[in-house]
Structure 1
Amino acid sequence: MKYDVIIVGAGPAGIFSALEIIGKAPELKILIVEKGKDIDKRQCPMDIQGVPCMSCPECDLVSGWGGAGAFSDGKLNLSPEIGGFLSRYIDINVLQSLIDYVDSIYVRFGAPEKLYGGDEKDILRIKDISAKNDLTFIPSKIRHIGTDRCRDVLKKMRDIVNGKIATMFNTDVQHILVEKKKAVGIKLKDGHEIFSDYVILAPGRASARWLETESRRLKLTLLKNPVDIGVRVEVPAPVLEPLTSITYEPKLIFYSKKFDDKVRTFCVNPYGEVVKEHIKDIWTVNGHSYAERKTNNTNFAILVSTFFTEPFDEPISYGTYIARLANFLGGGVIVQRLGDLLKGRRSTHERISKGIVEPTLKDATPGDLSFVLPYRYLSDIMEMLEAMDKIAPGINSRHTLLYGVEVKFYSMQIKLSNALETEIKNLFAIGDGAGVSRGLIHASASGVIAAGEILRRYGRV
């Protein structure tokens, strides 16, 4: 079999690569290879049958058409400073134009017209009060799709490419085929080889480990990104309402006083719920918010970014180790009241039931996060909560719930050209798994960049 372009991964990065190519060169033969299922077949058994996790070989929550974004809360951050590192490769003004272009495509496929963060007076007020409390507020216009609407948007994208590209689901790629330092195709785990002129790697976070292993095999230069580890915080929704009603997702950065570590908020979900993610036999925690239904709580992550120095160079392994430790001690995700953590005791069901915050993740195990997270991380998180409490009173309450752990597996980055091409000719790497993005917009934009370069080489732009 021979194609013009093979795309490995059907997350937002891979989907937008395909949309860009078929929109400008429909005659090109494209194949998407995805280890998960098609969008209509993605359904977690826990949701269908109400059973405990069955440890499926490929988790439907993070793999399949749409990637992890299919079950995310669908926040589109329209700032070049939030959600990735594409400004390393292209001019900031060009990047903003690209973000606007990608956003318009999401709207065309069903994302809502409403934008948060447009009132300059309110934004300046938040920026001012944050600065007075050692916090940096990064303003951004945000479009919120909602977990319940994400699937509809992705189904429309699937329908538009159906019949125009070839797709292979439930299919694992083993190796990238290279001849004379030039990508020529892929080899599947069943031994079949498929050839192409160009290969785009868009495996997403769930397959970041595979991409790292394959990159080392191909002797690609790997750069270091920080590993992001932390907790998901859950509070009564009114606590953050003064911020979320204006900007929906307040992006706050803090540098801890004790260690001078970068600490940040991530993925704020107003009136949302805390959820579990199952990636390669480990449980991590995340959050969702919906367009049509609400809870009484708001949740968000506090993540600590760490750059490791020599001789250690495996941040993904380190994050996996921390997650496994939490799973080992708690049988999955651990939840702890902030008051219990500060008193040096584990939380119990009884203690949590006395609090004013009712957990939205019902099967988290009450426990003690101090047995999981290193002191440095806990110290950074405690400082961040204290600082946030000054701009949103109630954050640092003894009733606040902390879920652990949250780990973001996008710590490895491949050396890439400005067109996101690797050191192997005609081999591109995009999206979260390649370390160039951390969210839907930047992942999608990276797909457009790679596709644009391929179209240029075919003389289609």
Structure 2
Amino acid sequence: MVEEYDVVIVGTGPTGIFTAMKIVEEKPALNILMIEKGSDIDNRVCPMKSYPGSGKGCQECVSCAIVSGWGGAGAFSDGKLSLSADIGGNLEEYIGREELERMIKIADDIYLEFDAPERIFGPEDNEIQKFKDEAIRAGLKFIPARLRHLGTGHTKKVLSKMKDYLVEKGVEIRFKTKATSILVDENEKVKGIELKDGTKISTNYVSVAPGRENASWLTEEVKRLNISTSLNPVDIGVRVETPAAIAEPLTDKLYESKLIYQTPSFDDKVRTFCMSPYGEVVSENNQGLITVNGHSHADIKTENTNFALLVSKTFTEPFKEPITYGRAIAKLANLLGGGVLVQRLGDLLNGRRSTPTRMSRGLVDPTLKDATPGDLSLVLPHRHLTGIIEMLEALDELAPGMYSRDTLLYGVEVKFYSSRLEVTPNLETKIKNLFTGGDGAGITRGLMQASVAGLIIGREIISRQG
């Protein structure tokens, strides 16, 4: 069975959505098919969320509702839209800083059209230098950033409106549908895709943006197609949870403090990532591996703030499998704890595991209730743990109390960035009319730049219509 479409988009995260949005805006007559392994956004329900307190834990669903489905992993990842070209990916290398800043503004305007909140978080100009000076005194590099915060609940509303708009424009969307192969002719020009059920879809253009959830699939496909790649850093660390009052110096006016630290012991880069003021820590299923993340809701507040501390390492030859490395560490955490491990900083420093009794004596009430008290030193490499501890000491100078023995560390948090695909400035691979973008292609690392990648791909497909 062979079906025909003008454009096929694999993955309905921000890159896929914004590719379709750009095309229907200027070439509404094109016949577009979007393919998504996960579910529609209204059906993205995690079993653990359906039965809170049941103790069931992760059900290891074939397609994790938290990271797969309409909207991609960003649908439930706090909805932070960074308005800075310095954050969220590598697109500046492809289109230049001035063009990236221009396209961020275009993407942001589209989000506003679909009812994104107008409020922007970030330091005022007179506050930036003051905070930067304070960070320097603590040995930290501060990256000023303004962002639009949707919040987990409101993100769903925005993404639902985008889906309804595309459907009204005639875009066909198939959920619970998995692409298995990219089809290429003898002239190295894309000719379609093949689905898991054997269906072949013929098309002139394919945009592949499977996100982190399916980065390993894309990696295997590019190997088969002999598309060159380069290694991205491997980001592995923990999610820190502390009383919101302690984190206020980092979140009150800034909301999202982007801080980088070069560790004195090993000169490794450690960075803060995805701050969730008054939020909750959550677990995610990444193809059978349970990892940790954090959310902030627009309307629901907890007494805690959480954020990630990630240690970035770039490996050299002959190492070529950053995803495999990250998965191996996550697998070890799952082996020891049956899922996510949690440990009090004081217990880690004292060289002992946390227990339910010790956890109950602490000042921080964990928001991820099914995390297993344990010992992160049995999971994370010594080099990573040392960097995390040294970063917490530095953060304590900006936010006194951060280095408290009651601070909670959840592990592991891993960002499964694939190797970065070799593409043109228009995000086209060496296979003609085969485009790729987003986090799964190793090109972006956040919602906004992933959205811009979609605009770039859509723009190029439109330009080839004459």
1:49 deviates by 3.1
Q: How do residues 232-243 of structure 1 correspond to structure 2 at under 5 angstroms? A: 232-243=239-250
Match of 2:180 in 1: 174
1:189 deviates by 1.2
Q: How do residues 111-126 of structure 1 correspond to structure 2 at under 5 angstroms? A: 111-126=116-131
**Which amino acid is 1:142 matched to?**
L
Match of 2:162 in 1: 157
Match of 1:95 in 2: 100
Q: Is the partner of 1:390 in helix, strand or coil?
A: helix
Match of 1:262 in 2: 269
| In 2: Cα distance, 1:145 partner to 1:31 partner | 27
Task: Say which of 135, 146, 152 aligns to 2:140.
Answer: 135
Report if aligned partners of 1:123, 1:246 keep a CA contact under 8 Å in 2. no
Q: CA offsets per residue over residues 308-341 of structure 1, 9 Å max, x none?
A: 1111110100000000000000110000000000
Q: Is the partner of 2:197 in helix, strand or coil?
A: coil
Match of 2:22 in 1: 20
Q: CA offsets per residue over residues 223-278 of structure 1, 9 Å max, x none?
A: 11001000000011011212211111000011111111111000000000100000
Task: Say which of 184, 188, 199 aligns to 2:195.
Answer: 188
| In 2: Cα distance, 1:52 partner to 1:269 partner | 22
Q: Does 1:295 align with 2:297?
A: no
Match of 1:85 in 2: 90
Report if aligned partners of 1:117, 1:123 keep a CA contact under 8 Å in 2. no
Match of 1:376 in 2: 383
Report if aligned partners of 2:322, 2:417 keep a CA contact under 8 Å in 1. no
| In 1: Cα distance, 2:134 partner to 2:356 partner | 37
Q: Does 1:219 align with 2:254?
A: no
Task: Say which of 47, 53, 58 aligns to 1:53.
Answer: 58
**Which amino acid is 1:414 matched to?**
L
Report if aligned partners of 1:35, 1:172 keep a CA contact under 8 Å in 2. yes
The runs of at least 4 consecutive aligned structure 1 residues that moved more than 3 Å come to none
Match of 1:435 in 2: 442
**Which amino acid is 1:166 matched to?**
E
Q: Percent identity?
A: 57
Match of 1:364 in 2: 371
Q: Does 1:277 align with 2:279?
A: no
**Which amino acid is 1:295 matched to?**
T
How many residues are aligned here? Answer: 459
**Which amino acid is 2:459 matched to?**
G
**Which amino acid is 1:150 matched to?**
T
**Which amino acid is 1:46 matched to?**
M
**Which amino acid is 2:162 matched to?**
M
| In 1: Cα distance, 2:399 partner to 2:359 partner | 22
| In 2: Cα distance, 1:35 partner to 1:330 partner | 29
Match of 2:339 in 1: 332
Q: Is the partner of 1:233 in helix, strand or coil?
A: strand
**Which amino acid is 2:126 matched to?**
K
Report if aligned partners of 2:283, 2:291 keep a CA contact under 8 Å in 1. yes
Match of 1:410 in 2: 417
Report if aligned partners of 2:9, 2:33 keep a CA contact under 8 Å in 1. yes
Q: Which moved more, 1:238-247 or 1:74-83?
A: 238-247
1:411 deviates by 3.5
Q: CA offsets per residue over residues 426-456 of structure 1, 9 Å max, x none?
A: 1011101001111110100000011111111
Task: Say which of 344, 348, 351 aligns to 2:355.
Answer: 348
Q: Does 1:10 align with 2:16?
A: no
Q: CA offsets per residue over residues 4-53 of structure 1, 9 Å max, x none?
A: 11000001110010001001110111110111111122111222234432
Q: Is the partner of 1:191 in helix, strand or coil?
A: coil
Q: CA offsets per residue over residues 175-197 of structure 1, 9 Å max, x none?
A: 00001211111011111100110
Match of 1:42 in 2: 44
| In 2: Cα distance, 1:208 partner to 1:400 partner | 33
| In 1: Cα distance, 2:98 partner to 2:253 partner | 25
| In 1: Cα distance, 2:130 partner to 2:435 partner | 42
| In 1: Cα distance, 2:26 partner to 2:450 partner | 20
1:424 deviates by 0.8
Q: Which runs of 5+ in 1 are unaligned?
A: none
Match of 1:147 in 2: 152
Report if aligned partners of 2:216, 2:418 keep a CA contact under 8 Å in 1. no
1:410 deviates by 1.2
Report if aligned partners of 1:135, 1:252 keep a CA contact under 8 Å in 2. yes
Q: Is the partner of 2:456 in helix, strand or coil?
A: helix
**Which amino acid is 2:180 matched to?**
Q
| CA spacing shift, 1:65–1:326, aligned 2, 3 Å | same
Q: Is the partner of 2:88 in helix, strand or coil?
A: coil
Q: CA offsets per residue over residues 86-144 of structure 1, 9 Å max, x none?
A: 11101101101101111111111111111111411122211111112211100111111
Report if aligned partners of 1:230, 1:304 keep a CA contact under 8 Å in 2. yes
Q: How do residues 56-67 of structure 1 correspond to structure 2 at under 5 angstroms? A: 56-67=61-72
Q: Does 1:68 align with 2:73?
A: yes
| In 1: Cα distance, 2:50 partner to 2:354 partner | 30
TM-score normalised by length of structure 2: 0.97
Q: Which runs of 5+ in 2 are unaligned?
A: none
**Which amino acid is 1:122 matched to?**
E
| In 1: Cα distance, 2:42 partner to 2:251 partner | 32
Q: CA offsets per residue over residues 286-325 of structure 1, 9 Å max, x none?
A: 0000110100110000001111111111010000000000
**Which amino acid is 1:32 matched to?**
M
**Which amino acid is 1:231 matched to?**
V
Report if aligned partners of 2:249, 2:398 keep a CA contact under 8 Å in 1. no
